[in-house]
Amino acid sequence: MRESATDAEATVYLKEEINHEFARFEERSKPENFDPLPNIPTGRYIDDDFFALEQERIWSKTWLLAGHADEVPDIGSYKLWESSGTPILIVRGRDNQIRAFYNTCTHRGGPLVRQALGQEKVFVCKYHCWAFSLDGALNHIPDEHEFIAIDKSKRGLKPIRCEMFGRWIYVNRDPNAMPLDEFLGPLTHELADFEPDNLHFVTRYHFDLECNWKITMDAFQEVYHLKHIHPNTVDAAIDHRSASMALFPQGSSRMFVAAKTGETKFTSIPAQSPLEEGEQHEIVRSGSLSYNMFPNIVTPIGAYEFPYLQFWPTSKRTTRFEVTFFSRGDNVDPESNYWKDQIAGFNVILGEDNENLPWIQRSIESGGIDGIPLSYQERRIYHFHEFLDQVIGVDDIPENLRVEPRLSELQEDGKGQRLAS
């Protein structure tokens, strides 16, 4: 990845892992030092109380990707973000700092903005016209003399933790949450190799699916299904037998799958353009590199495009599947032929997945399956569920819905180094 001894070692390690997986499949040998995983309880996808715990603990206490700096480009630019179920106002202040607040006037809860995107010099509540500066301070109260001894300095907008990684905007409603870079852990190092400061926002769109949000997360964390669901698309391009995975702290993970070349070993594919050159992009152009970022992001990295897939629960059995494209090049016009072709092709693949997912929800609800057995190739799913329980609080989860801790000792730092559990 970057040209340091450590990163060179990481790249060598990844190639060795790919070759090891190929050889293991050729020999039909079982993975070493890996015990069978317990079933994932199906109740986690349909139980009302479990869903309520998720709503209370996950979306209010973890770092959530809420936007990109390109969406609030100028002083006073704002974005109203509601994907997590809470109306949050993201704004670029006069000091160019991006901040987040509840979209709630501190008088009687009126909204400050109603449009998804816009630009203001001040925020004025639409109910009684209390006015707030871009940094959240309360500046004006109509008929202020009618409020006995009110202290405007204590009535500013309620802030929400807001931190940046590259030009991505993350928010967290928990004021005591760990810093974002600590939460992302090894991901900050690995994704920095792909120059997030130079990524530009292209477009965002979504699908509404009739399934629990975890069913969508599960679907995009393994390649065991490729030859069955994507025989003429993804499976024609990458070889599921080579899947190499790393389990990171905080429930995140990485997966690399080598390109299908007819060889049963890692094969480096030459760069086709300047954007594909460099050690860090040898991996990207030679297969499929994908990250899961807890709680709800999957990102398959391309040479030019950087799509983020996010899964937002809209109810226990419905999900908003949000797709956001970022560009490594200068072309950020979603109406250009390049992006029309890229998005159309990508949507064909997503459609193959999405067609299957509501049926899985219905099967689980039917009682036709009692528990979900996972293979070695599906271990990222189990790792994700383990950490989900940690965030919720294992003791608060009914025993029949818990996931037994099994994979913490397999966590890595991204360079093949095992992390303490």
Q: What is the pLDDT of residue 276?
A: 67
Q: What is the pLDDT of residue 419?
A: 38
3-state SS string for the chain = CCCCHHHHHHHHHHHHHHHHHHHHHHHCCCCCCCCCCCCEEHHHHCCHHHHHHHHHHCCCCCCEEEEEHHHCCCCCEEEEECCCCCCEEEEECCCCCEEEEECCCCCCCCCCCCCCEEECCCEECCCCCCEECCCCCEEECCCHHHCCCCCHHHCCCCEEEEEEECCEEEEECCCCCCCHHHHHCHHHHHHHCCCHHHCEEEEEEEEEECCCHHHHHHHCCCCCCHHHHCCCCHHHCECHHHCEEEECHHHCEEEEEEECCCCCCCCCCCCCCHHHCCHHHHHHHCEEEEEEECCCEEEEECCCEEEEEEEEEEECCEEEEEEEEEECCCCCCCCCHHHHHHHHHHHHHHHHHHCCHHHHHHHHHHCCCCEECCCHHHHHHHHHHHHHHHHHCHHHCCHHHCCCCCCHHHEECCCCCECCC
CB contact at 8 A, 347 and 355: no
d(CA 75, CA 152): 24
d(CA 66, CA 197): 16
For 36, the 3-state DSSP assignment is coil
The pLDDT tens digits of the residues spanning 144-192 come to 999 998 999 999 999 999 999 999 999 999 999 999 999 999 999 889 8
**CA nearest to 31, candidates 192, 325, 243, 187:** 243
Q: What is the pLDDT of residue 7?
A: 64
With tokens 């070695």, the residue in question is 376
What mean pLDDT is predicted for residues 90-99?
A: 98
Q: Is the pLDDT of residue 414 over 60?
A: no
Q: What is the pLDDT of residue 120?
A: 98
**CA nearest to 276, candidates 139, 377, 268:** 268
What mean pLDDT is predicted for residues 213-239?
A: 95
d(CA 170, CA 163): 5
Q: What is the pLDDT of residue 418?
A: 42
Q: Is the pLDDT of residue 6 over 60?
A: no
Q: Is the pLDDT of residue 301 over 60?
A: yes
Q: Is the peptide bond before 373 cis (omega within 30 degrees of 0)?
A: no
What mean pLDDT is predicted for residues 116-139?
A: 97
69-73, 172-176, 277-281: which range is least confident on average?
Answer: 277-281
pLDDT band at 377 (very low <50, low <70, confident <90, very high): very high
Q: What is the pLDDT of residue 33?
A: 85
Handedness of CA 92, 93, 95, 101 (dihedral sign): negative
pLDDT band at 32 (very low <50, low <70, confident <90, very high): confident
Mean pLDDT of the chain, nearest integer: 92
Domains of the chain in sequence order:
5-60+182-410 (3.90.380.10), 64-176 (2.102.10.10)
- Contacting residues for 131 by C-beta, under 8 A, at least 6 apart: 122, 123, 124, 125, 138, 139, 140
Q: How far is CA 115 from CA 79, 108, 118, in A?
A: 8, 20, 7
CB contact at 8 A, 86 and 161: no
Query: What's the length of the chain?
Result: 421
Q: Is the pLDDT of residue 124 over 80?
A: yes
For 70, the 3-state DSSP assignment is helix
Percent of the chain with pLDDT over 90: 83
pLDDT band at 409 (very low <50, low <70, confident <90, very high): low
**CA nearest to 213, candidates 289, 293, 297, 87:** 297
What mean pLDDT is predicted for residues 42-51?
A: 97
d(CA 312, CA 318): 9
pLDDT band at 421 (very low <50, low <70, confident <90, very high): very low
Q: Is the pLDDT of residue 37 over 70?
A: yes
Looking at per-residue confidence, does 8 or 393 come out higher? 393
Q: What is the pLDDT of residue 329?
A: 84
Q: What is the pLDDT of residue 4?
A: 37
Report the run of H or E that residue 67 belongs to, with start and end: strand 64-68
Strands 253-258 and 244-247: antiparallel
The pLDDT tens digits of the residues spanning 195-204 come to 899 999 999 9
Q: What is the pLDDT of residue 272?
A: 79
Structure tokens that stand for 18 in this block: 């790919």
Looking at per-residue confidence, does 418 or 101 come out higher? 101
With tokens 């190499």, the residue in question is 244
Q: What is the pLDDT of residue 5?
A: 39
